[in-house]
Chain A
Amino acid sequence: MRELAYYEAKFEALEEIMSADERVHLINGTFLSLSPHRHVFQNLQKKFSERMFAPPISELGFCGLATGAAMAGLRPIVDLSTGSFIYEAWPQVANEAANAYSMSGGQTRVPVVFHLFHGLRGGGAAQHSGSPQAMLWNVPGLEIAIPSSPRDVKGLLKTAVASDNPTIFVDHTRLLDIRGEVPDNDQAIPFGVADIKRSGSDVTLIATSYTVQVGLQAAGKLAKEGIEVEVVDPRTLVPFDLATILSSVEKTHRVVIGDETHQSCGVAAEIAARIAESGFDKLKTRIRRVSTLDVPVPYSPGLEAHIGPSESRIMDAVRAALA
């Protein structure tokens, strides 16, 4: 199987998606944030320029445009770029797109994808480091995909675009350059299917997005201490695959959850609640969350590193689960 960089897999997906379906339009952004790999976006632009629209700085306006276009039969992908900018568009995403299908009694479909880069990026400070997916999980009517690997970003993006529901596609700039195996043939990954990124029998580490990669690093180091961590990646928050997680918990009896949304009402909080509700009897110790601390993200690099779900905090939590 060939190995690709995450950004290469992502753009391979975009190219295949756009070639296969002329209803797909790209609105705003480069899907690369400030990554130096601009050439892949420019290649896409050369091929599909009539289906790519660079709007003014009007997030509310262009997220509404994308939603309306989806209602009228296009399948737009909006790049909000910095995840915190979805706050400018919140009414259109949460109050219009999310509600349209349900409140129309199932008549109006909204096949729009809202793509964003979340999380701690290194010097982003408070306003450019948001992880809005926890808040968005609390808005019924939105699907949420959150890849962590080259294979997953390609497969999930395809499903996101094919879905008739409004989908939030949660990406992370720190994933763009990681490398991984990507199958040659076209493979969409269904929503609601978690992935066991690493097998282990001692502790179940559930992680999302870039924290999956951090977790794998931590697991590698813990293996040298004789601890075998099973890393489970939900890949989508909505729909959510609880069954795979519970099977893992059945095996290990110990859970640590690593995620970059802030602790209160964060992604880890919801996952912990679901496990506690359905798998309480399988647990031998309390669930431990390793989330970003409940503070506005500080600028200084040391402070920023301190508040996130770092490798050391994850390792400490795993060891504590076994103590």
Chain B
Amino acid sequence: MLPNLPRENLLELCRRMFTIRHFEENLVLLHDKGVFGGHYHLYVGQEATGVPALSCLRADDYLFTTHRNHGHLLARGVEPKRLFAEILGRVDGLNKGKGGSFHSVAPSLGFLHSSGVVAGIIPLSTGTAYAAKAQKNGRLTVCLFGDGSLEEGAAPEAFNIASLLKLPLLFLCENNGKYGAGRAVAAAQSSSMAAYPLTELPKAYKIPAQQIDGMDAGLVHATISEAVGKIRRGEGPQFVEAQTVRFPGSETNWPTVPKPTNTALAWDVSDVPEKAREWYHSCDPLLIYIRELVEANRANRDEIAAIESQVKSEIAAAVDFATNSPYPKPEEAERDFFA
């Protein structure tokens, strides 16, 4: 379903989803051309979770994310060119080239720190929530992580402390572990976690928890809005598990793009390689969203194609900017590690 929002907001969400999608696809091209090294992780297939969810936040809220962070940063409004530059290790990157993909930050947008260690950010999120509570500034913290993080001891320790202190903290778990199209929402399961469903883990600490379809932008928006409202009213932490089907291009060791996205794919997947076709047909949240916009008469195909076209130009310019940004001088390695 579509979020219950005015048309211009719906189109803005669309624009941000396209931004993430084209950013990620261009990143794969850059990597395959050897422009940057190091591992990276795509947010493709999860856009309908990150974009509507983060749109429910205030400008001064805190966000923590993981190695799969590009989508979150872009959903929040980070400039694609600065993120490209960071992943390419250039001086104009978000972290001046010192962080790379896993550690990209944007403090003015609430991203103080990112960790490449699974569950590394979960205890940290209790800290910003603790600080916000102590400083009585009404700021909320969103902790974004995947299903794997729940296997780390840091997660239950944080749930316990968050519930004990009634922290203003939203745990948003993106479980991209649903394999195959057409499975029921409840069927998503992690093979390395004995607790099932995953919501049993926060519930053990009396943290309200729910599972939702992460591919349904409207459901995500409504659920997160409600959760955020509860937190701001002082009801303590909330947990939402948003389920999506893993993007086929993320199944291999190194990310791939089975088929470059374009608006028309929402109605015709015959061009997509067979292995990935079912995913694009039924599990691609961006294409689902586009179809819903059209079917609900909130936009027509041409409008959407135009939005996409503009995004593509922006991304192309961002790639240019990043590839032309210089590398930091080697001596920079010896500077700026102490305040």
List A residues at the B interface (Cβ < 8 Å).
25, 50-51, 53, 55-56, 58, 60-74, 91-92, 95-96, 99-109, 111, 140-141, 143, 163-165
State the CA gap A66–B120 with chains docked (Å). Answer: 13
Which residues of A lie under 8 Å from residue B62 when comparing CB positions? 72
Among B124, B132, B339, which residue has the most Cβ atoms of chain A within 10 A? B124
List B residues at the A interface (Cβ < 8 Å).
62, 64, 93-99, 103, 105, 107, 112-113, 115, 117, 120, 122-132, 134-135, 139, 153-154, 157-158, 160-161, 164-165, 336-339
Closest approach, in angstroms, between the C-beta of B136 and any C-beta of chain A?
A: 11
Interface pair A108/B113, CB less than 8 Å apart: yes
State the CA gap A66–B158 with chains docked (Å). Answer: 12
Interface pair B123/A64, CB less than 8 Å apart: yes
Interface pair A105/B124, CB less than 8 Å apart: no
Which residues of B lie under 8 Å from residue A67 when comparing CB positions? 123-124, 127
Which residues of A lie under 8 Å from residue B126 when comparing CB positions? 61, 64-65, 68
> Knowing A74-B131, A103-B99 touch, does A55 contact B161 (C-beta < 8 A)?
yes
Partner of A61, one of B105, B107, B129, B157: B157
> Knowing A56-B161, A61-B160, A73-B135 touch, does A102 contact B123 (C-beta < 8 A)?
no
Interface pair A96/B120, CB less than 8 Å apart: yes
> Knowing A106-B96, A106-B336 touch, does A66 contact B160 (C-beta < 8 A)?
no
Closest approach, in angstroms, between the C-beta of B62 and any C-beta of chain A?
A: 6
Interface pair B117/A72, CB less than 8 Å apart: no
> Can you name the residue of chain A whose Cβ is closest to the Cβ of B97?
A105
Interface pair B113/A164, CB less than 8 Å apart: no
Interface pair B154/A64, CB less than 8 Å apart: yes
Which residues of B lie under 8 Å from residue A56 when comparing CB positions? 157, 160-161, 164
Interface pair B97/A69, CB less than 8 Å apart: no
Partner of A103, one of B103, B123, B125, B339: B103
Interface pair A62/B161, CB less than 8 Å apart: yes
Partner of B134, one of A25, A104, A105, A109: A25
Top 5 closest pairs, chain A to chain B, by CB: A68-B127, A64-B123, A61-B157, A105-B96, A68-B124
Which residues of B lie under 8 Å from residue A69 when comparing CB positions? 127-128, 130-131, 134
Partner of B161, one of A61, A74, A105, A140: A61
Partner of B113, one of A65, A96, A141, A165: A96
Count: A-B pairs, CB below 8 Å:
149
> Can you name the residue of chain B whose Cβ is closest to the Cβ of A59?
B157
Interface pair A100/B131, CB less than 8 Å apart: no
Which residues of A lie under 8 Å from residue B123 when comparing CB positions? 60-65, 67-68, 92
State the CA gap A13–B207 with chains docked (Å). Answer: 39
State the CA gap A33–B235 with chains docked (Å). Answer: 35
> Can you name the residue of chain B whose Cβ is closest to the Cβ of A64?
B123
* A–B complex contacts, Cβ < 8 Å, 11 sampled: A56-B157, A61-B161, A72-B135, A95-B115, A100-B113, A103-B99, A108-B112, A141-B337, A163-B339, A165-B338, A165-B339
Interface pair B161/A58, CB less than 8 Å apart: yes
Which residues of A lie under 8 Å from residue B113 when comparing CB positions? 71, 96, 100, 104, 108
Which residues of B lie under 8 Å from residue A163 when comparing CB positions? 339
State the CA gap A55–B160 with chains docked (Å). Answer: 10
Interface pair A74/B135, CB less than 8 Å apart: yes
State the CA gap A25–B117 with chains docked (Å). Answer: 27
Which residues of B lie under 8 Å from residue A164 when comparing CB positions? 339
> Can you name the residue of chain B whose Cβ is closest to the Cβ of A164?
B339
State the CA gap A99–B124 with chains docked (Å). Answer: 13
> Can you name the residue of chain A whose Cβ is closest to the Cβ of B335?
A106
Interface pair B134/A102, CB less than 8 Å apart: no
Interface pair A74/B338, CB less than 8 Å apart: no
Which residues of A lie under 8 Å from residue B105 when comparing CB positions? 104-105, 107-108
State the CA gap A64–B124 with chains docked (Å). Answer: 5
> Knowing A58-B157, A64-B122, A96-B113 touch, does A71 contact B339 (C-beta < 8 A)?
no
Which residues of B lie under 8 Å from residue A53 when comparing CB positions? 130, 165
Closest approach, in angstroms, between the C-beta of A40 and any C-beta of chain B?
A: 24
Interface pair B95/A64, CB less than 8 Å apart: no
State the CA gap A55–B132 with chains docked (Å). Answer: 18
